[in-house]
Amino acid sequence: MSNGDVLARYEGALMQTFGVPPRVLVRGEGPWVWDADGVRYLDLLAGIAVNSLGHAHPRLVSAIAEQAGTLMHISNLFASEPQVALAEKLDALVAGESGRVARTFLTNSGTEANEAALKVTRLTGRPRLVAMEGCFHGRTMGALSVTATAAYREPFAPLPDNVTWVPFGDLDALAAAMGADVAAVVVEPIQGESGAVEPPAGWLAGVRALCDEHGALLWLDEVQTGIGRCGDWLASRAEGVVGDVVTLAKGLGGGFPIGACVATGDAAALLQTGHHGSTFGGNPLASRAALTVLEIIEDEGLVEHARATGDWLAGAIEALGLPEVSHVRGRGLLRGIVLNQPNAKAFGSAALEAGFLVNAPRPDVIRLAPPLIITRSDLQGFLDALPGLVSAS
């Protein structure tokens, strides 16, 4: 079947929440994918920062196949060893050297992890949340209530309210918004959907201090920035900040759906029996996949690789001196190419035709979030093509 054949069926069979996609992808290997017409593309998006090991990593494929042949699903009426082992690993990753107790609730996605985190904040007994302008935390109703984009929110109003919005990176504005009624401040260390926007240095540590001062929880949404994506296991770790609640997903499963809400300190004891649940969350297959991803990232040194490769890529793009490009922002392998004109959508189309998968989260920003395994040699073709892509758009 060709791209056109399958897309005609797609339009008739699926709800039109995504429009009609431009291609049908049928196969992947490493950082490459092929469409139904046999055309090869360099995947610089990794399923929106999900495929941390690229496509068809043999160790991950083997682990999933082995677990599928043993035990896939049992519900949370029973426990499994992969589930417990994964929670132990995530607890240690999030707590770090802080000495805090940590506990994990496993979910199927990032938005579900944020729903669990939202319930944790409710159990503080405080009614108000503080969220950042430009943020994205998911599409379910609770997560949507702390997502800033009006176009996502307005069709589904009224949403859960009592949210105060402050500019991302503005510590004075946050200080003015704080009070004894604030349950939590929710923040992405780097705003991915806004195009890899970083706050000023020291801002996140300042947020931590304000939360401590006012007795509020610090809720870190690391769904997109975590699991090595930004050159640290957690992007918040670059400033030595430990969250009271940390949400994870995307790269955690390397393509297999899984998310996690990890709470530390006193927050780890807030959710109790009957407060929350999930039929599929933490099933043995998803847990085994996530454990294997974490092991491979560690064994192959991919956190350090993401940091070094991302720095090289950003420097190489800026060194081209392209008049159409303002600058490159972000950290590790979560990068935004900021254009001088709002031509990102046209750039994305030109890139697709040239054999590159990218994303335009904002009119003037191209987001790059390739697999953590990508090499400089893989990326060189994109760098060589970039002058033509920006001029064509």
Positions annotated as catalytic residues are 136, 221, 250
Tell whether residue 224 is among the known ligand binding residues: yes
Alpha-carbon distances of 350 from 127, 326, 342, 354, rounded to whole Å? 47, 19, 14, 6
- Look up residue 199 and give its DSSP letter: P
Contact 308, 331 (CB under 8 A): no
Tell whether residue 273 is among the known ligand binding residues: no
Contact 117, 247 (CB under 8 A): yes
- Look up residue 308 and give its DSSP letter: H
Tell whether residue 136 is among the known ligand binding residues: yes
Tell whether residue 111 is among the known ligand binding residues: yes
Question: How many whole angstroms separate alpha carbon 186 and alpha carbon 269?
Answer: 19
Residue with tokens 């994990």: 104
Alpha-carbon distances of 172 from 97, 132, 169, 176, rounded to whole Å? 29, 13, 9, 6
- The three state secondary structure string of 27-84 is EEEECEEEECCCCEEEECCHHHHCCCCCECCHHHHHHHHHHHCCCCCCCCCCCCHHHH
219: left (phi over 0), alpha (psi -120 to 50) or beta: beta
- In the three-class reduction of DSSP (H, G, I as helix; E, B as strand; rest coil), residue 257 is classed as coil
Question: Half-sphere exposure of 205 toward its Cβ, with a 13 Å CA cutoff?
Answer: 7
Question: How many whole angstroms separate alpha carbon 311 and alpha carbon 165?
Answer: 32
Residues with Cβ within 8 Å of residue 325, at least 6 apart in sequence? 317, 318, 337, 338, 339, 340, 390
Tell whether residue 107 is among the known ligand binding residues: no
Tell whether residue 262 is among the known ligand binding residues: no
DSSP E strand boundaries for 136-216: 163-166, 182-187
Tell whether residue 2 is among the known ligand binding residues: no
Tell whether residue 222 is among the known ligand binding residues: yes
- Whether the bond into 158 is cis, omega within 30 of 0: yes
Tell whether residue 142 is among the known ligand binding residues: no
Alpha-carbon distances of 206 from 22, 202, 213, 241, rounded to whole Å? 43, 6, 10, 10
Tell whether residue 52 is among the known ligand binding residues: no
Angle formed at CA 257 by CA 254 and CA 262, multiple of 5 degrees = 90
Compute how many other C-beta atoms are within 10 angstroms of the C-beta atom of residue 282.
26
Query: Can you say which residues are annotated as belonging to the binding site for pyridoxal 5'-phosphate?
Result: 110-111, 136, 221-224, 279
Query: Can you say which residues are annotated as belonging to the binding site for N(2)-acetyl-L-ornithine?
Result: 139, 278
Query: Can you say which residues are annotated as belonging to the binding site?
Result: 110-111, 136, 139, 221-224, 278-279
